[in-house]
Amino acid sequence: MRSILAFLLLPTLGFSQQDYSTRELKDGKFKMDSSYIYTLPFEEKKKVFLVQGYESKLFSHKGEKALDFKVRSGTKVCAARGGIVSAVRNDSDKGGLKPENLSDGNYISIQHEDGSVAWYWHFQKNGVLVNAGDPVAKGQLIGLSGNTGYSAFPHLHFEVQGPDGAGNFGQLPTRFYTQQGVIYLRPGKFYRPIHP
């Protein structure tokens, strides 16, 4: 239990972005970036804590460009970008840290007009509020957070996959509108979304 508590309270140090080294990001040496700017996947002005960021070595994001937001079960999750719902799962009530739990998570995937896909994971049972084929708008309520799948505590796992600058399909870093401005999120901090 102590190790889980420490995990929740300690910020992670690893952070990376496509085409930039971890050192460049830590030093704040961002180059011109014209990628899409996402809305945090929560109601406007809701305070959320980012537990785990890109390339975190603390728990489960080693080699991944994904974000984990610590939120209570039942927290309203909104679309970070508009698109078409491409897949959902809504029937699981299982969660934990065993290998078999990897396939137990409830999720939503939303395909965007540029071909990228956002994945939202760990919804509570019957907490997915959209269906495959539904169009969704940025900021629209899509589900209720939970603790299903490979999960030690209630949280929302968010990632975007799509083609990088070289045309390879994989996980992409994302910038967000926040009350602190347009930024790449850092773990161990609280953020409040804005919906421009």
The pLDDT tens digits for 105-143 are 999 999 999 999 999 999 999 999 999 999 999 999 999
**In this predicted structure, what is the pLDDT of residue 116?**
93
> Considering the domain boundaries, does residue 170 fall inside one?
yes
| Residue at 110 is within a domain | yes
Q: Specify the pLDDT at position 166.
A: 76
137 assigned to some structural domain: yes
Spatial distance between the Cα atoms of 103 and 113, rounded to a whole number of angstroms: 28
pLDDT computed for residue 19 by the predictor: 42
- Give dist(CA 136, CA 148) in Å, integer: 23
pTM: 0.81
* 53 falls within a domain: yes
- Under 8 Å CB-to-CB from 140, ≥6 apart: which residues? 78, 79, 82
User: Residue 135: enclosing H or E segment and its boundaries?
Assistant: strand 135-136
Which segments in the chain show pLDDT lower than 50?
1-20, 29-32
Decide if 161 contacts 171 (C-beta within 8 A). Answer: yes
Instruction: Give the range of the structural domain holding residue 157, as residue numbers without chain letter.
Output: 2-191
Domain count for the chain, please give it: 1
Catalytic residue among 112, 155, 157, 195: 155
Q: What is the CATH number of the domain that holds 126?
A: 2.70.70.10
In a domain, 196, yes or no: no
The whole-number pLDDT of residue 27 equals: 55
Is residue 122 part of the annotated active site? The answer reads no
- The answer as to whether 132 is a domain residue is yes
Q: Residue 106 domain-assigned?
A: yes
